[in-house]
Structure 1
């Protein structure tokens, strides 16, 4: 009988998921900001090849590099290529650690450009200890 109880208890532990979740931790925001700061540094230097290394494969399933290059060209033509300031306006993070780890980040910035300002939103995910951009939306502001 003890043998069956031990087997039953073992199955219960195997089937359980042990996760700890965190919402909007400052340290998680800072981890994501490192990626967006690098992205803007590369964009300011017109080093798109390095900037694109910060973007995950999930992004490129819907938007290829040619389309992303065209989008950046369009933004630069309409709003200006010179970025004078980046201000984080809204941020949200969700990090789950344990048996089913998952990390998601959303950062929105107000970008001051030489022609017209933009509101830019990044969606990032962490996979294999590496945070990558999986979404990038740009809206023109006044």
Structure 2
């Protein structure tokens, strides 16, 4: 008699336990993730080299667009070209990625470049994130001594 009484409670407990589970797989620094991020980064740099800043918008994440207006971004990129010169070459120095697949999916990538420019060398960081099943630019940072001269 007691077993029949407790059976629904055990079943209910099991149901609640399983419904609160999250099934995720985390991948750190996988080569294939780096390649996916580099494709977007290469498109980004190709537009920078062409000085076609208006076409950057589809590559930018919603978070990036929320904090940086198009005129402000254009001024920033133009200032970099004026102070450091045009891009001659770029080399991926190192990178990091973290991709989570499952019920709490997310993806983050950081690519660190050494960029040879006409006037000065720069260290540039491109931060990317997964957004609507696409990789988008979340941040772009340029460090160079030429910015202080």
- The alignment of Structure 1 onto Structure 2 pairs a total of residues equal to 141
CA distance in 2 between partners of 1:15 and 1:24 (Å): 29
CA distance in 1 between partners of 2:124 and 2:58 (Å): 19
RMSD, aligned α-carbons: 1.3
**Aligned with 2:126: secondary structure?**
strand
CA distance in 1 between partners of 2:108 and 2:101 (Å): 12
Gaps of 5+ in 2: 1-5
- From 95, 98, 104, the equivalent of 2:99 is 95
CA distance in 2 between partners of 1:70 and 1:128 (Å): 28
1:26 and 2:31 matched:
yes
Which deviations, in whole Å up to 9, do the C-alpha atoms of 1:1-29 show, x marking residues without a partner?
32221221111111011111011011111
TM-score by length of 1: 0.93
Gaps of 5+ in 1: none
- From 119, 122, 127, the equivalent of 1:123 is 127
Structure of greater Rg? 2
TM-score by length of 2: 0.89
CA distance in 2 between partners of 1:38 and 1:94 (Å): 21
**Aligned with 1:61: secondary structure?**
helix
Please tell me whether the aligned partners of residues 119 and 141 of structure 1 are also in contact (alpha carbons under 8 angstroms): no
CA distance in 2 between partners of 1:66 and 1:120 (Å): 21
**Structure 2 partner of 1:108:** 112
